[in-house]
A and B are shown apart, each in its own frame.
Chain A
């Protein structure tokens, strides 16, 4: 077909002047490579965020003592949140499936005989297991009766169990938390580590009452874990809780809150916020390279049209129409950006794999960046190729051949 022959002419021109072609291609290569890497990091980050949201529990809310917009870890020294608050939420907020007030302290000394270690101790009620979807693998969970009787029993995490008892079963054994003796009644399922490296399994659960009165000697709690019944009620529950605590703590909105409510969505948004800076930076690099590359491509093509006036005139003399010339130069531009895109995608994929191997940056390779790159490449090729092609096509053959 005629068009195929014309395209062939465009490709041949690129092939005969490889250095020029490489210069024209450079911007597209860098731009597309950057685009590929950004998108890989973007989906990697998103995947990590989704995992965190999943870990937090999509239907979960945390009512945490202490205000502020950031997400500092709950601070057990803040005294503003009380058990009454948790009871009020339980009784007055609609749509809650499970609710569990918690008081905790980290780095509590724990020992058995001569063995000593440190762990985080959580004072919880019997609903804790359901609120966190976190149950025992062995023995019994914290029961309502334990809370009612201020029982000195505990359920321990697998790391703590291993540190204190090695491979022996700890069930029925006694441990000392500070100076208080507790009987181990259960072992929690393994949960692993948090994204920032906290070991979830280095913990002991004790009855809420025992913890507050015997061990910590305090009447405030650190946070309340709330599990909402339906996913689409999370926001409603959140605002009900906020309003209720405002009332109870006598806070009128412009005043600063002395509590905060964290949801899975909030965690996701916050994490996205921090990864945004990097992705904006890389997007800017990609966009800039594509534009600068496009401008360079256009200018080289324009110069080339100037240099090849005689060739263009000759082609017209032997029968090329204006359209034939237009297509030939558009082909050159499009071929440059398309091949640049392939090279850029390959380069981007290679950089992504290197990032994966050598850094902790989360990355996921997929076909979407490839499709987007192709679209961008064609767009840049046409946008910046059209002017030189038009110029070439509009040349007057008589004048060029003089």
Chain B
């Protein structure tokens, strides 16, 4: 469970202070699928980094499963990221010289008890995102969509409760984007909490709930009336291709 109260983030460089997040309040229950929306520069990524324990708020509180994240030291935050959070970035951030399997295994380097079957786990994780036949490929031998799926497999390997995705489809074509959304849908069905940052309404509509940021505050926090289903859209896409 995620709970933020009066959350603030202000950047200060020298004498200039930039308040980015001001008085953010919300609660996300386990297993929720939430999209965070807003125009560019409203602090979506900033909020997501705080939720992912990669950054600290400058005010207010952030509770993650009853731990007050604001009071934790750097090492503890690292452990928390390793165990509880899986990041998916717009730019994939894969290690260029490593194979898909090696990339996926990366978070395991930093776990407390290294699993015997780390490689098997990575292969399983890759299979779950449909890359069973691309295990030994390097990023430059993969398409953008495939690279993003490797990144998702990497986020999944430690079986985190929360998946944080910052514009995961931002660099992908329509179909690859839908494939990624289909993976999120399945993860959500399996009970994971998914927080998706996007500025596109169409992407946000895959979630159950949308939080809209504006000028560092929550402008809107609503349920999605008609949740989009990526699987349906993918099948119509496939149908369309068949017709041509």
Which A residues are within 8 Å of any B CB, using their own CB?
Answer: 2, 5-6, 8-9, 16-17, 310-311, 313-324, 397-398, 401-402
Contacts and interface: CB of A to CB of B under 8 A. Distances in A.
A319 B110 contact: yes
B79 interface: yes
A322 B79 CA distance: 11
A324 B82 CA distance: 13
B142 interface: no
B137 interface: no
Nearest to A310: B93
Contacts of A8: 109
Given A5-B114, A398-B49, A401-B89, A321 B74 contact: yes
Contact of A401 (B75, B79, B93): B93
User: In which size bucket is the chain B interface?
Assistant: 20 to 34
Contacts of B95: 311, 314
A2 B114 contact: yes
A319 B107 CA distance: 6
Contacts of B219: none
B107 A318 contact: yes
A5 B75 CA distance: 18
B22 to A, nearest CB: 19
21 contacts: A2-B112, A2-B114, A16-B97, A310-B93, A313-B93, A314-B95, A315-B106, A316-B81, A318-B81, A318-B154, A319-B78, A319-B79, A319-B107, A319-B110, A319-B111, A321-B74, A322-B74, A322-B78, A324-B110, A398-B49, A401-B93
Given A319-B82, A321-B110, A398-B49, 17 more contacts: A2-B110, A8-B109, A16-B97, A313-B93, A316-B54, A316-B81, A317-B54, A318-B82, A318-B158, A319-B79, A319-B83, A319-B111, A320-B110, A321-B75, A322-B75, A398-B54, A401-B93
Interface centre among B45, B81, B87, B114 (most CB of A within 10 A): B81
A319 B81 contact: yes
A318 B79 CA distance: 9
Contact of A317 (B52, B75, B83, B111): B52
Nearest to B45: A402
B48 to A, nearest CB: 10
Interface in B80-111: 81-83, 87, 89, 93, 95, 97, 106-107, 109-111
Contact of B87 (A2, A318, A323, A324): A318
A324 B107 CA distance: 12
A309 to B, nearest CB: 11
